[in-house]
Chain A
Amino acid sequence: MITTLPATRKSLFVPEPGRILSVEKLTANERLFKIALDKRSLGHKPCQFVEVSIAGIGEAPISITSSPTSDNTFELCVRQVGKLTGVMHQMGPGEVLGIRGPYGNGFPVEKIAGKDVLFICGGLGLAPLRSLILYCLENRSSYRRLVTLYGTKRPSDRLYAKELAAWAKDGRMELHETVDIPEDGWTGNTGVITTLFNRISVDPLETVAVVVGPPVMYKFAVLELLQRGIMESRIFMSLERRMRCGLGKCGHCQMNGIYVCQEGPVFCYSDVKKVREAL
């Protein structure tokens, strides 16, 4: 049946003003934008995303990198890869972006309470995953061990370099890093992210794993996790697709029959293992 439009409704496509409070250069190519909405707090869950709009340029989906328990501001970590992100990188404090969202299902935080949580992230995957890592650190007593495996191409690509060390301080979290291509001064591990698995011990019955990284990473990471006896239903992942509208209509993010922008981006491995276009 046809829906009758309600008398009062929120427009789906009109963005809200989001004022840039600060911009921090994280790497040569990535910047951290702190943004405040004019009229409300964003009210997001970890691993959700927003559509960032610049009039005359267009829109792009950007994952929220800050914890939901922070104040009425939120943060976006933006790599300069296209037209909109190129313009964003020219912008500074006081300038205003358009924001739609938050979109996506977000991370089911209730499913990891009381567990060991193993975060596995590659490259820019740390941007969405940071929202969950910060959430867990803020609610540290709700979790047992927190372990992060982080891999980047080069040491200079590491996001949140200062923060990473702070997270690992006082044993609040175990952190293991690796790079594909070492640069001068790098004393850490060299190799793909799966090489870090041998450095950690895993309690298979009590561990939940969260995987976020480039498309190629998922299969190999899941393989390592299954090899260590972690339950399929306790392996979560956030999948990147082209979320053009965020409303489950435009079709760009479709992964077989699933609209990732609405039903994802967070999926449980046991739910998507048979979705052929997923991994």
Chain B
Amino acid sequence: MKTLVLSKLDVPVLVRELQSTARLIGPKRKDIQFVFDEIHDPEELVLDYTTTILPPGRQLFPNKETLLTFRRNDVAATREVVEAEPTVLLGVHPCDVQGINILDEVFSDSPYDANYLARRAKTTIIALECARPCSAYNLCFDKGTYRVEWGYDLLLVDLGDRYFIFTRTAAGDAMVENLKCMKPATPADREALGKVREMQSASFKPRLSGPVNRLPSALKDAYDDLLWDAIGRRCLSCQTCTMVCPTCYCFDVRDDVAFDLNEGKRCRLWDSCQSNEFAIVAGGENFRPKASQRTRHRLFKKEVFQFEKYGRSACVGCGRCSAQCVASIHLTDMYNQVLGG
């Protein structure tokens, strides 16, 4: 691990250097919100952003990707497509780094997903610590994701006029070798880092009414609670919560046929367990016909099923599902209901 500093005046230099080797994705303004998108001009980059509409992990698992190309009536002409190009994700908050760690684990699970892993292998992640909570909906203190220990190549911490930088991987070490705008950290920089981190720790507060490690058992105990029916009455099944989640990965596969009605592509698209059609089989049976069952399934998938399979939660506490829910259904409220007051 190396420690360096980068003057904020040199951020445009950093942007230009990163752009010279890869597609650079970072936080940009979109009206009054922020999005992760390609940075063409250093001016577009907004590193003091709150949170983005979609998490940066969606760059690794795009809303539509080609899995294979085909010719109709010629199965042997089917060709696998793996879309991956060198990419740098710049300014990824710790919760979103953890979101990507979770996707890595899921797509590395046998049988591994070549399309995701190829893209991931070509992606460099430059994380950025948060000085304070970004919204009223974060659970990052409770979830322990306001800081992150691994999953990034470089980590930036805002010291006011400069960034403190940690390298985490060999790729990160190699990267800073080539980035002349960074200088080795001095004892004064380290002291400043300590103060910033102290203030940072003080600004994050717990939002759950009970310990987070009780969630799996508390949710299991609450399987038959009326809470789900109550939430189901409000839920519109609009699927926003799953679209904006850093760890949702359910998908559908569809065929696109070209205008010549011969060639085409088989594509993977995001899908959502919150849609009414999601679990319907050919015979017409729907295994999760109620919004209440689907909401429960979503929370259980985050806190129970993945906990049982991987020994960790799949909710990173980013707060997007709550902030963007059109029916104002908030994860914190549901968790607090099951944890008790």
Contacts and interface: CB of A to CB of B under 8 A. Distances in A.
B271 A56 contact: no
Nearest first, the 5 closest Cβ-Cβ pairs linking A and B are A257-B305, A251-B250, A3-B108, A55-B70, A17-B75
Nearest to B264: A56
B68 A56 contact: no
A60 B305 CA distance: 26
Contacts of A1: 104-105, 108
Interface string A115-136: 0000000001000000000000
Contacts of B134: none
Contacts of A174: none
Instruction: Kindly state the interface size class of chain B when it binds its partner.
Output: 35 or more
A124 B252 CA distance: 25
A38 B75 CA distance: 11
Given A2-B117, A55-B75, A256-B300, A81 B106 contact: no
B282 A81 contact: yes
B67 interface: yes
Contact of B120 (A2, A96, A244): A2
B279 A242 contact: yes
A79 to B, nearest CB: 8
Given A58-B254, A249-B107, A249-B251, A98 B75 contact: yes
A140 interface: no
A59 B43 CA distance: 46
A185 B250 CA distance: 50
Interface stretch (A6-14, A66-74, A106-114, A190-198): A6-14
A182 interface: no
Interface residues of A, number: 49
Contacts of B76: 17, 38
A55 B72 contact: yes
B31 to A, nearest CB: 32
Interface string A212-255: 00110000000000000000000000001110110111111011
Given A242-B282, A250-B250, 9 more contacts: A58-B253, A85-B282, A98-B75, A214-B283, A241-B287, A251-B271, A254-B273, A254-B301, A257-B308
A255 B118 CA distance: 29
Interface in B280-326: 280-283, 285, 287-288, 297, 300-301, 304-306, 308-309
A9 B121 contact: no
Q: Max chain B CB contacts within 10 Å: which of A1, A15, A55, A85?
A: A55
B221 interface: no
